[in-house]
Chain A
Amino acid sequence: MASATTQERLDQTGNQEQENQAAQAAARKRARYGPFFWVPLIWLGTIVFCAAFADILPLQPNDEMDFTAISSPPWEAEGHIMGTDLQGRDVLSRIIYGARVSLTVGIVATVIGMTFGLMIGLLAGYYRGWVETAITLGLDTLLALPALVILLLASVIFGGSLTVVSVSLGFLLIPAFARVSRANTLNFAQREFVVAAKAMGARDVRIIVLEILPNVVLPVAAYALVVVAFAIVVEGALSFLGLSVPSPMPSWGGMIAEGRESLGETPHISFIPATVMFLTVLSFNLVGDALRSKLADLRESAL
């Protein structure tokens, strides 16, 4: 019985493939503007808004210990909607202030990685030859290093702070962006308009900045949101190990780690920040993916 239906499926697979591709494209179009795009976008908007205006929102202080409500679950103690942690600090407030850390690191690191990655990729793709060889060697070296270890080292060497974590994480993100940027540069460096510019005597800098860069920026930037999600995860891992921002300052990874001590009795201390972090990472992935496939469609239709 089961194998009969399987046989049918197998028969249909080949014939249907073309229809499927059209159906898939349509499905992608629907999904892009559907709830899988808007809901995460609204969530991200909320997080960004709360993080930006944390100081003027009616929140409990994030570092004050309420000794009348230690580790109290959500809704139980007055004034603590999401409960309190092991030291009686307000979880909601710490989550919102923690969002500042995650978002700052995620965005700053991505911007650093993208800026340098773009430049390096442009150089490698345009000049080829020994420049390309040297750059590829450098990028592969960065890729061969275990990222988390380098971040641990950096925060032991320079002390854990927003700047140190953002900059060193940004540094480690360079290879990913540089590869995309190099591949796209290779593609454009041989197109007619570049050849024309060369023939008219344009200098290399002019060609790279005015002719190639505008074409390479978009496909590279399309990865940015997905990379932000990745950066937030790495920062989370680092603060989980206690090596991101210093202790009293709230961070999502740090909060998850603190709650581990009493996971059996008061799981909310770990699971509320974990849920918030999961939703944020998922949202960045969903929105990033939707934007990326939209950009890909745009470029296909432009060619």
Chain B
Amino acid sequence: MRYLASRLGHLLAVLFSVTILTFVLVNVLPGDIAYDIAGLDASEKEVQAIREDLGLNRPVFIRYVEWLGGVLTGDWGQSYRTGEPVLEAIMSRFPVSLELVIIAQVIALLLAVPLGVISALRANSRFDRVVAVAGFFCLSIPNFMMAIILIYVFGLWLNWLPVTGYEPISEGLWANLRNFILPASSFALAEWTVLARVLRSDMIGVLQEDYISMARAKGMPVRRILWVHAMRPSSFSLITLLGLQVGALIGGSIIIESIFALPGVGRLLVGSVFARDFLIIQGCITLIAVAYVVINFAVDVCYALLDPRVRTARSHG
């Protein structure tokens, strides 16, 4: 418990310093946002009024404290461009990004689990080596490049799937899903190799345990040994990694959502950076940092729950 409490304290401190750092960064953006809002032919007085209105001429520190107070009470400010409340703007795009990340993870798992298990079972066979080399190649393809390849092959050449756009789920499940297949695959086709590697090495270890020999000795079918007895202890690192990869996917969604014109948080963020809509930027980064902290804490809790050694060892040390 003490270990978890100190982890939580640390992660909250991280969250706090992320918001300070972003606030400072975003506030040194060049160009006066008040001029942008007022338009080209506004008088100095009007600009001054807008600045006053937005509170731009007060010190950064004061504005930060006010912003933080607002965030804690659910008021994340408003977009300078559209006047839309920040929290609403982000939350309306959030489901799209979430769906993208989940579908990407599902595709990655569909590839990684069978390949990882068979590689472990036939360690150092030709199959194992081919998978390892293929993985190495896939890892060297940046996700935006993978996106271009997928667009070319499945969108333009085979003409199977749409290359841009988004349909809400109310238009039907398939109409909604087909727009996510290519973007999600752009992530998954590189990510599976990380997952498969971890699963393979854990599985090789587990297959040497005595209880596996025991199960084998009593003549239990291999399929049952693999999926029931070996899979569960082998999947622990896999699940941890799956959680941690979400962070990488959130970062990558910025570029993938832009390429495939998916209206998610990543695309909102890129648009806002170009438009210097800084309360939106601030809100998005805060949300991403919150996600990072929550995932990390969840991973820590899992470790402590599943492995009592972690709890005791770390709280003493």
Point out the residues of chain A lying under 8 angstroms from B143, CB to CB. Answer: 237
Is A278 positioned at the interface, with any CB of B under 8 Å from its CB? yes
Beta-carbon contact of B25 and A153 below 8 Å: yes
Of B9-17, B48-56, B104-112, B235-243, the segment with at least 4 beta carbons within 8 Å of chain A is B9-17
Beta-carbon contact of A237 and B144 below 8 Å: yes
Point out the residues of chain B lying under 8 angstroms from A281, CB to CB. Answer: 140-142
Please tell me which one of the listed residues A145, A278, A286 contacts residue B141 in the complex, with CB atoms under 8 A apart: A278
Q: A13-B121, A153-B25, A157-B30 are known contacts. Are A236 and B142 too (CB-CB below 8 A)?
A: yes
Beta-carbon contact of B14 and A140 below 8 Å: yes
B interface residues, how many (CB within 8 angstroms): 60
Beta-carbon contact of B156 and A264 below 8 Å: yes
Point out the residues of chain B lying under 8 angstroms from A253, CB to CB. Answer: 144
- Which residue from chain A places its CB closest to the CB of B141 in the assembled complex? A278
Beta-carbon contact of B222 and A145 below 8 Å: no
Q: How far is the CB of B129 from chain A (nearest CB, A)?
A: 8
Of B68-76, B173-181, B270-278, B302-310, the segment with at least 4 beta carbons within 8 Å of chain A is B270-278
Of B35-43, B85-93, B284-292, the segment with at least 4 beta carbons within 8 Å of chain A is B284-292
- Bound Cα distance A144, B293 (Å): 8
Q: How far is the CB of A140 from chain B (nearest CB, A)?
A: 5
- Which residue from chain A places its CB closest to the CB of B208 in the assembled complex? A14
- Which residue from chain B places its CB closest to the CB of A14 in the assembled complex? B208
- Bound Cα distance A193, B285 (Å): 46
Q: How far is the CB of A271 from chain B (nearest CB, A)?
A: 8
Is B4 positioned at the interface, with any CB of A under 8 Å from its CB? no
- Which residue from chain B places its CB closest to the CB of A274 in the assembled complex? B145
Beta-carbon contact of B250 and A282 below 8 Å: no
Residues of chain B whose beta carbon lies under 8 Å from any beta carbon of chain A: 10-11, 13-15, 17-18, 21-22, 25-26, 28-30, 121-124, 136-137, 139-145, 148-149, 151-152, 156, 204, 207-208, 212-213, 216, 221-223, 225, 250-252, 254-255, 258, 269-270, 273-274, 276, 281, 284-285, 288-289, 292-293
What are 17 A-B pairs with beta-carbon distances under 8 A? A11-B216, A17-B204, A137-B10, A141-B18, A145-B22, A146-B285, A148-B252, A149-B251, A149-B254, A156-B29, A157-B25, A236-B142, A237-B255, A270-B152, A274-B149, A281-B142, A285-B140
The 10 closest A-B pairs by CB, nearest first: A282-B140, A233-B142, A264-B156, A144-B292, A146-B251, A141-B17, A140-B14, A281-B140, A144-B289, A152-B273
Residues of chain A whose beta carbon lies under 8 Å from any beta carbon of chain B: 3, 6-7, 9-11, 13-14, 17, 20, 23-24, 27, 136-138, 140-141, 143-150, 152-153, 156-157, 229, 233, 236-237, 240-241, 253, 256, 260, 263-264, 267, 270-271, 274, 277-278, 281-282, 285-286
Additional pairs, 5, CB under 8 Å, beyond known A11-B216, A148-B255, A233-B142: A10-B216, A138-B17, A152-B254, A153-B281, A156-B29
